[in-house]
Amino acid sequence: MGKHRILSPVRLLLLTLPLLCTAHAVAAQGLPAEPFVFGDGRVVVSGDVSMTTSCAHAQDAAACTKDTGFFNFSDYNDSTLRMLGAGLSASVRLGSKLTALGDLRLQNAHRPRPYGVYLRFRPFERRNFDIQGGRIPSTFGSFARRAYSADNPLIGYPLAYQYLTSLRDDALPRTVDDLFRMRGRGWLSSFPLGDQTPAAGMPLANAFRWDTGIQAHGAAGIVEAAASVTAGSLAHPIFHDNNSGKQLAARVSVKPVVGLVAGVSASRAPYVTSGSAAAAGAAANDFVQTAFGADVEYSRAHYLLRFETLSVAYDLATIEPRLRALATMVEGRYKLTPRIHVAARLDHLGFNTIASPTRTDAWEAPVTRWEVGGGYALQRNVNLRLSMQHNTRDGGRVRRMTALSAQLLYWF
- Residues at the site binding another protein, with contacts judged by CB under 8 A: 34-37, 40-41, 44-46, 89-91, 93, 99, 101, 103, 116, 120, 122, 128-130, 137, 145-148, 217-219, 224, 257-259, 299-302, 335, 337-339, 377, 379-381, 411
Least CB distance to another protein at residue 125 (A): 9
Please name the residues in contact with 292: beta carbons below 8 A apart, sequence gap of 6 or more: 264, 265, 266, 310, 311, 312
Q: Which of 185, 201, 189, 180 is nearest to 353 (CA)?
A: 180
Distances (CA, A) of 38 to 5, 34, 43, 45, 274: 51, 13, 5, 9, 45
Q: How far apart are the first and last CA of the chain?
A: 42
Least CB distance to another protein at residue 80 (A): 18
Alpha-carbon distance of 6 to 3, in angstroms, equals: 5
Q: Is the peptide bond before 18 cis (omega within 30 degrees of 0)?
A: no
Q: Which of 277, 290, 284 is nearest to 205 (CA)?
A: 290
Q: Which of 11, 86, 4, 9 is nearest to 52 (CA)?
A: 86
What residue type is assigned to position 230 of the chain? T
Q: Which of 225, 245, 223 is nearest to 234 (CA)?
A: 245
Closer Cβ to another protein, 17 or 336, answer by number: 336
Closer Cβ to another protein, 128 or 353, answer by number: 128
Q: Which residues are 399's β-sheet partners?
A: none
Least CB distance to another protein at residue 246 (A): 22
Closer Cβ to another protein, 110 or 380, answer by number: 380
Least CB distance to another protein at residue 63 (A): 36
Closer Cβ to another protein, 137 or 213, answer by number: 137
At 202 the three-state DSSP class reads coil
At 285 the three-state DSSP class reads helix
Least CB distance to another protein at residue 120 (A): 7
Closer Cβ to another protein, 1 or 301, answer by number: 301
Least CB distance to another protein at residue 363 (A): 32
Least CB distance to another protein at residue 365 (A): 32
Closer Cβ to another protein, 91 or 274, answer by number: 91
Least CB distance to another protein at residue 91 (A): 4
Closer Cβ to another protein, 111 or 126, answer by number: 126
Closer Cβ to another protein, 73 or 143, answer by number: 143
Q: Which residues are 355's β-sheet partners?
A: 360
Closer Cβ to another protein, 96 or 358, answer by number: 96
Alpha-carbon distance of 268 to 248, in angstroms, equals: 5
What residue type is assigned to position 82 of the chain? R
Least CB distance to another protein at residue 42 (A): 9
71-109 b/e with 16+ CB inside 10 Å = b?
bbbbbeebbbbbbebebbbbbbbeeeeebebbbbbebee
